[in-house]
Amino acid sequence: MSTIAKDTHHDHEHKPTGLKRWFFSTNHKDIGTLYLIFALTMFFVGGAMAMIIRAELFQPGLQFVDPQFYNSMVTIHALVMIFGAVMPAGVGLANWMIPLMIGAPDMALPRMNNMSFWILPFAFALLLSTIFMQGGGPAGGWTMYPPLVLQTGDAFPFLIFAVHFLGVSSIMGAINIIATVFNMRAPGMSLMQMPLFVWTWVITSFLLIASLPVLAGAVTMLLTDKYFGTSFFSAAGGGDPVLFQHIFWFFGHPEVYILALPAFGIVSSIIPTFSRKPLFGYASMVYATASIAILSFFVWAHHMFTVGLPIKGELFFMYATMLIAVPTGVKVFNWMATMWKGSMTFETPMLFAVAFVILFTIGGFSGLMLGITPVDFQYHDTYFVVAHFHYVLLTGAVFALMAAVYYWLPKWTGHMYDERLGKIHFWLSAISANVLFFPQHFLGLAGMPRRIPDYNIQFADFNMISSIGGFAYGLTQLLFIYIVIKCALGGKKAKSVSWEGARGLEWTVPSPAPFHTFETPPKIRKEMLENG
């Protein structure tokens, strides 16, 4: 018997079984697994919608779907990928890894943790059911701008309540992570000794707590505008539709970093491992992350340069946006300096991490272009924007999440994944993602608008190339499922330190990590720390 204090008399190593284990769980590993499986499922749901979009855009003209349905696919694809795939995957990793990385027995508030997961499937039941309703799913874009979104049919209140519900889940998850990191660290682990992944998640949690309630407020005003006759977003009553955009993007820009910062943290764990060198400039990484987070609350109107802001506003938001390039540059520099003269090997996690650094930087540069006000007047609402945010979100955030799965799969399952298949998955993904999104830069520069199912014949070639890349990327991800399942079922036994250069508390526990870990606080020695 260990000394962990438990409610019940039976041996604690006896796992709860059956449905109770999953529905009543207070175990961070089980809840983390649920989050990750849910995220992967939604990645395919959102991916299927992307396939419909790319199939329709394969050729000019209307082939498969009507414009209303097409637009609902664009809208729901975004909501599913952001709130259903990338965010839950990040929270799932946080659940699994943060307690292991800081030597805690579990999350600080384990029951709330369970609730914040279980909300997700129910919230998405509300959202996805709208596809089958009268008037179809929400089709005004994930940004829900009024007055267009107010024309949504029966789907409207379902959309609003799904957003509320998801917000509740994320806020609870964020509070839990903050309490865990500030209250549950093993004695002797100072804040500046935490792995960068933990740091990025704490900062992300602050962003979540400060920004999601604002979104909740915004959609509440949409609801009352539609059903109770308020005029927040109606100029006829003294309001302004642009007001919604301000409030939405006050949430929306921090949200972008909510998706990206955990990815930064993942990559900051993986690159040192496979470079066999400690992370370069650890402290500057922490400060850069915090700076990005703080700046993210002062740049929102760069999403709205073309709505007719006063010129002072345009200039302020342009310069503030440029400023973000500085801490981001610090990060990219530090990743490269970490690799510099390292004894590098290129296992699948490292491949994804290096690809992240390169491709995220491309997305960062196109973001810089979009952040320049006069230039944005040309790019706004074109495929250039679509290319930009897919570089930062797919080859950025999603690649980092893939890297994380490969990196920690041995710790989760106790088996090594099939390295050869992993490498094939990486190369097919990296090539197809670029075939998919790179031509969209050219389409956007040439003037092809977003969110429209048909296009001028001059855009035909690049769209066809992009669609081929899209189908290839989609198919490739089936290989990912196969690799993960194969690894869960068996394979070469993983050592507790699964990678030669790996450091950090998570590698001091056996692989697979037992149901309960760190039931008593571990004694921290400097060489155990990732950033000792």
Taking the C-alpha atoms of residue 476 and residue 518, their distance in angstroms, rounded to an integer, is 38
Binding mask 444-483 for another protein (x = CB under 8 A): ----------------------------------------
CB 366 within 8 A of CB 386: no
154 lies in the binding site for another protein (CB under 8 A): yes
Nearest to 284 by CA among 292, 276, 296, 275: 292
Q: Restricting to residues 97-116, name those near another protein by CB under 8 A.
A: 104-106, 108-112, 114-115
How far apart CA 458 and CA 313 sit, in angstroms, is: 36
Least Cα distance to 433 among 480, 385, 478, 465 occurs for: 465
Are residues 278 and 196 in contact, defined by beta-carbon separation less than 8 angstroms?
A: no
231 scored as a contact of another protein (CB under 8 A): yes
Residue 243 contacts another protein per CB under 8 A:
yes
Residue of 302, 380, 411, 425 with catalytic role: 302
Q: Are 245 and 303 in contact (CB under 8 A)?
A: yes
Decide if residue 305 touches another protein (CB under 8 A). Answer: no
Instruction: Let me know how long the chain is.
Output: 532
Near another protein by CB under 8 A: residue from 36, 78, 128, 174: 174
> What character string, x for contact with another protein (CB under 8 A) and - otherwise, covers 477-516?
---------------------------------------x
Binding residues with another protein: total (CB under 8 A): 89
Catalytic residue among 54, 77, 441, 503: 77
If the CB atoms of residues 47 and 99 are measured against another protein, the closer one turns out to be 99
One residue of 4, 326, 475, 481 binding another protein per CB under 8 A: 4
> How many CA within 13 A on the CB side of residue 211?
26
Q: Is 151 in the site for another protein (CB under 8 A)?
A: no
Smallest gap from Cβ 282 to another protein, in A, equals 20
- Would you call 415 helix, strand, or coil by DSSP? strand
Whether 66 sits among the annotated catalytic residues: the reply is: no
Give CA separation, 445 vs 306, 344, 407, 475, 480, in Å: 16, 38, 37, 29, 33
Using CB under 8 A as the binding rule, whether residue 329 contacts another protein is answered as: no
Q: Which is nearer to another protein, 174 or 354 (CB)?
A: 174
**Angle 516-518-519 (CA atoms, 0-180°, nearest 5)?**
70
Q: Could you please report the per-residue DSSP string of 330-399?
A: HHHHHHHHHHTT------HHHHHHHHHHHHHHHHHHHHHHHTSHHHHHHHTTBHHHHHHHHHHIIIIIIH
> Taking the complex as a whole, how short is the minimal distance between the CB of residue 503 and another protein, in angstroms?
21
CB of 130 to another protein, least distance (A): 9
Interface with another protein in residues 21-60 (CB under 8 A): 21, 23-26
For residue 144, the minimal CB distance to another protein (Å) is 14
What sign does the CA torsion over 192, 195, 201, 207 have? positive
Segment contacting another protein (CB under 8 A): 34-42, 168-176, 345-353, 354-362?
168-176
**Rule CB under 8 A: which of 399-428 touch another protein?**
none
* Minimum distance from residue 403 beta carbon to another protein (Å): 30
Which CB sits closer to another protein, 249 or 473?
249
Concerning whether 390 is annotated as a catalytic residue, the answer is: no
Member of 9, 14, 20, 526 binding another protein (CB under 8 A): 20
Give Cβ neighbours of residue 92 (< 8 Å, ≥ 6 apart). Answer: 32, 33, 34, 35, 36, 38, 39
Only one of the segments 52-60, 183-191, 266-274, 368-376 lies at the binding site for another protein (rule: CB under 8 A); that segment is: 183-191
Question: Residue type for 282, please?
Answer: Y
124 binds another protein (CB under 8 A): no
CB 28 within 8 A of CB 95: yes
Active site residue 500: no
For residue 473, which of 444, 443, 437, 440 has the smallest C-alpha distance?
Answer: 437
Decide if 450 is catalytic.
Answer: yes
Site for another protein in 347-366 (CB under 8 A): none
| DSSP single-letter state for residue 306 | G
Q: Give yes or no: 328 in active site.
A: yes
**Of 59, 230, 284, 508, the one binding another protein by CB under 8 A:** 230
Among residues 70, 96, 142, 158, the one that binds another protein under rule CB under 8 A = 158
Q: Is 199 in the site for another protein (CB under 8 A)?
A: no
Gyration radius (Cα) of the chain, Å: 23
Tokens of 525: 């020695």
Q: How far lies 527's CA from each of 49, 126, 196, in Å? A: 47, 48, 16
- Contact criterion met (CB below 8 Å) for 385 and 444: yes
Q: Is 14 a catalytic residue?
A: no
Q: How far is the CB of 238 from another protein (least distance, A)?
A: 4
Using CB under 8 A, which of the segments 57-65, 237-245, 366-374, 452-460 binds another protein?
237-245
Residues identified as active-site: 77, 106, 142, 169-170, 253, 255, 257, 268, 302-303, 328, 331, 450
